[in-house]
Amino acid sequence: MDAIIVGAGPAGCKVGEIVSKRGYEVLILEEHTSVGEPVQCTGLVSNRIGKLPKEVIINKIKKARFFSGRVFFEVKSKDAIYVIDRMKYDNFLASKAKQNGCEFNFSTRFLDFQNRLVKTNKKIFETKILVGADGPNSSVAKSVGLKLPDNLLFGIQSTVEGTFETDTVELHFGSKVAPDLFAWVVPENERTARIGLLANKNPSRYFEKFLKNRIGITERKATFGDTIRYGMIKKSVVDNVLLVGDAACQVKPFSAGGIVYGQIGANLAGKTCIKAIEENNFSKKFLSKNYDEKWKKELANPIRKGLLMKKIFSKIQDRPFSFKLVKSLEITRLSNFFDMDFLDK
């Protein structure tokens, strides 16, 4: 194989699409039985995600409401924000990769990588370059000695029936609501919303309490959990290997969203794979110059801004007065057409 990608999520499928489109042999290894399962994402994205099929879009959001207790201020979005069907979105990206000749092996778990040989639970594959798109606890990173940031958050989410404003997302802050981040209400329509939270400990306990306080019930549809790793990774490449998406911590620290950053990383990763194959150069130095340095040039500053904003909100989360102040002063950066990806006007 010219390239093997571990992980059939959005970042992995995008890399597969780009590289296979140039006629190279690409194989995506996925430990689960199909693309898009299990669903582990709220599915709230900006228009930077690119053109989407109509069937992928469930709802459109215009504003976000930031709460500390019952006090809140509102933030409007520059452009459309979409609530998407993650399973359909993942399969949309996978189908584009398949159309370009990318192969998929399911129920195939990555075990190790040495001397261009990829060991799995089924067989051993040979590849020129290996792409780790295998999430926040990347087995590829561990196998090749790439250290991931220690920052972890634990999430939980359910789809719940109630009464909701269709164009408004709610973000609820407080050390007794969701320690270290926030809880959210993301409407699919007037009667259904995705409700969840991310915290640094005991997410289930905080979730049950939030759900009961917000809508008065604890009944819900299927619940899923996830782990988010965030912060700046020191290096995302070694010889013959690069990391992308959640595996490279291409994640927004303030909201923990990873799809848009992951697609930015995947586009650069795909181009780098092509260049490496064409020039037959898979060295750490080459991959660092063409990938690691380039994706950090685009995302390092937004990630640092996100870390700063996360720190600020952690200090004011239990202070409704601070939220009142933001509301009364109408601080431009927070309350007037906010960029949810890059934290700019």
Question: Domain map of the chain by residue range?
Answer: 3-335
Which residues, 6+ apart, have CB-to-CB distance to 102 below 8 Å? Answer: 13, 16, 17, 19, 20, 26, 27, 28
pLDDT bracket for residue 332 (50, 70, 90): very low
pLDDT at 218: 67
Share of the chain above pLDDT 90, in %: 71
In this prediction, residue 190 carries a pLDDT of: 94
Of the listed ranges 1-15, 214-228, 243-257, the one predicted with least confidence? 214-228
> Edge-to-edge strands of the sheet including 57-68?
44-46, 71-84, 57-68, 168-173, 183-187, 192-199, 152-161, 223-229
Q: Rounded to the nearest 5°, which phi and psi values hold at 295?
A: -70, -30
C-alpha angle 286/258/316, rounded to 5°? Answer: 120
**pLDDT reading at 25 higher than 60:** yes
pLDDT at 339: 65
Q: Which CATH superfamily is domain 3-335 in?
A: FAD/NAD(P)-binding domain (3.50.50.60)
Q: What is the pLDDT of residue 335?
A: 47
Q: Give the pLDDT mean for 74-103.
A: 92
CA 55 to chain CA centroid, nearest Å:
21
Position 325 scores a pLDDT of: 66
Q: How many residues does the chain have?
A: 345
**pLDDT tens digits, residue range 146-198?**
999 999 999 999 999 989 999 999 999 999 999 989 999 999 999 999 999 99
CA distance 120 to 185: 39
Interval 111-137: pLDDT, tens: 999 999 999 999 999 999 999 999 999
